[in-house]
Amino acid sequence: MKLFPVVTIPWIVSFLSLLSFFPILIAQVNPVGVEEHDSGKEITIAVAANFKNPLEEMKVLFQKKFPHWKIITLYGSSGHLTNQIRNGANVNIFLSADLDFPNSLYDDGFSDSPPEVYAEGILVLVSNNSLTSFQNIEQILVSPNTKYIAIANPRTAPYGKVTVEYLKHLGILQSIEAKLVYGESVTQVNQFVFASAADVGFTSYSSVKANEMDWKDWKPLDPKKVPSLRQGKLLLKPQGPITDEKKLIMKQLYELIGSKELDPILKKYGYKIPNRNSKRKDTGSKRGKSF
């Protein structure tokens, strides 16, 4: 996929880019959890940025179910998290914003089982300005008053990739590409728009539902024009010997994510519930099905 040149915009974008780096570091060195755990009783989950709000709420339930275990969470774009896993990051469960990144890890032997869909995301447009005077999304994007449009990096963030496909479907990608500015993930897109470094931004509906930023306006997109955002989970192979107890806890936690028990949290944050009634479909892995 072609990645368009990044537009130079006010200094605040560079400042926000630096700020967005720190939450990942904090998550790594100061994980939230019950204190005084055995160092071996830790489960690390790498989570796509769009899913931070529901996952943080789920962690409260996780800690109640597994009180003697520390749940560590790492947040970032799916692509960057995938690279960290490939480079040796000690991650047990990966929650991606798509199926492509977990499939690539499965294909390369990082897991014994293919990824499964745990949620379906929704893409929306947000702004710090009123959008009521526009009749549709196209008018907003091509308007001369819209100078900067923030999207997540399509190379590393599935929400950014889907945004590009959506703009292609509208037939306006080339005409507005000079307006596009890129964030590392939807989290950084949210920061750009909230700080008025971008006029509008494409982000996750979950950000709107969580009141993550006090935006003045937002618009839903026509679902017929937006590719599916099926978000995949992957149970990763341990990097070394682990206890049978840890294997069991990893599997139980993996199965809990995306289960009916957590549907109320998914709905609260604007995610679609994946279809569990039919047999699991091929998720696109080159290795094929292993069930």
pLDDT in tens, 2-55: 444 444 454 454 445 444 444 443 344 333 333 334 457 999 999 999 999 999
Residue 21's contacts (CB-CB under 8 Å, 6 or more residues apart) are: none
Residues 241, 187 share a domain: no
Residue 1 lies in a domain: no
Choose among 192, 194, 218, 195: nearest CA to 206. 218
Give me 262's structure tokens. Answer: 């957590």
Residues 262 and 216 in one domain: no
Q: What is the pLDDT of residue 285?
A: 66
Model confidence, pTM: 0.85
Q: Is residue 253 part of a domain?
A: yes
- Both 59 and 94 in a single domain? yes
Q: Are residues 140 and 159 in the same domain?
A: yes
Question: Residue 104 carries which DSSP code?
Answer: H
Residue 20 labelled as part of a binding site: no
At 255, the amino acid letter reads E
> Lowest mean pLDDT: which of 36-40, 72-76, 173-177?
36-40
Express each pLDDT in 182-234 by its tens digit: 999 999 999 999 999 999 999 999 999 987 677 899 999 999 999 889 999 99
- Positive or negative, the CA dihedral 214, 46, 262, 277 is positive
Of 226, 216, 151, residue with least CA distance to 183: 151
**Residues paired with residue 124 on neighbouring β-strands, in sequence order:** 203, 220
284 in a domain, yes or no?
no
Query: Is 167 a domain residue?
Result: yes
**Quick check: is 132 in a domain?**
yes
Is 275 part of any domain?
Answer: no
The answer to whether residues 112 and 37 belong to one domain is yes
Query: If we measure between CA atoms, which residue out of 38, 55, 66, 39 comes closest to residue 94?
Result: 55
- CATH number for the domain including 98? 3.40.190.10
What is the domain range of residue 38? 22-120+229-268
Same structural domain, 130 and 115: no
For the chain, what is the mean pLDDT? 87
Amino acid letter, 176 = I
Q: Are residues 116 and 253 in the same domain?
A: yes
Regarding whether 109 and 178 lie in a shared domain, the answer is no
User: Given this model, what pLDDT does residue 75 score?
Assistant: 97
Residue with tokens 């040796």: 88
Residue 246 phi, psi dihedral angles, 5° rounding: -65, -40
Phi-psi region of 42 (alpha: psi -120 to 50; beta: other; left: phi over 0): beta
Please check whether residues 54 and 181 belong to one and the same domain. no
Q: Is 130 among the annotated ligand-binding positions?
A: no
Question: Is the pLDDT score of 279 beyond 80?
Answer: no
Q: Are residues 47 and 166 in the same domain?
A: no
Q: Which residues lie below 8 Å from residue 68, measured CB to CB, with a gap of 6+?
A: 34, 37, 41
- Is 53 inside any structural domain? yes
Q: Is residue 283 part of a domain?
A: no
Structure tokens at 184: 């590392």
Spatial distance between the Cα atoms of 182 and 101, rounded to a whole number of angstroms: 20
Q: Which residues lie below 8 Å from residue 222, measured CB to CB, with a gap of 6+?
A: 137
Give percent above pLDDT 70 in the chain.
Answer: 81
Residues 48 and 170 in one domain: no
**Measuring CA to CA, which residue among 122, 98, 124 is closest to residue 230?**
98
Phi, psi of 190 (to 5 degrees): -60, -40
pLDDT at 178: 98
Does the pLDDT value for residue 56 go beyond 90?
Answer: yes
Q: 221 and 127 in one domain? A: yes
Domain count, the chain: 2
Asked which of 197, 225, 253 is the last residue of a domain, the reply is: 225
Task: Give the model's pLDDT for residue 277.
Answer: 63
Task: Provide DSSP, 204-250.
Answer: EHHHHHTT-S--SEEEE--GGGS--EEEEEEEPPPSS---HHHHHHH
Cβ within 8 Å of residue 31, ≥6 positions away: 70, 71, 72, 73
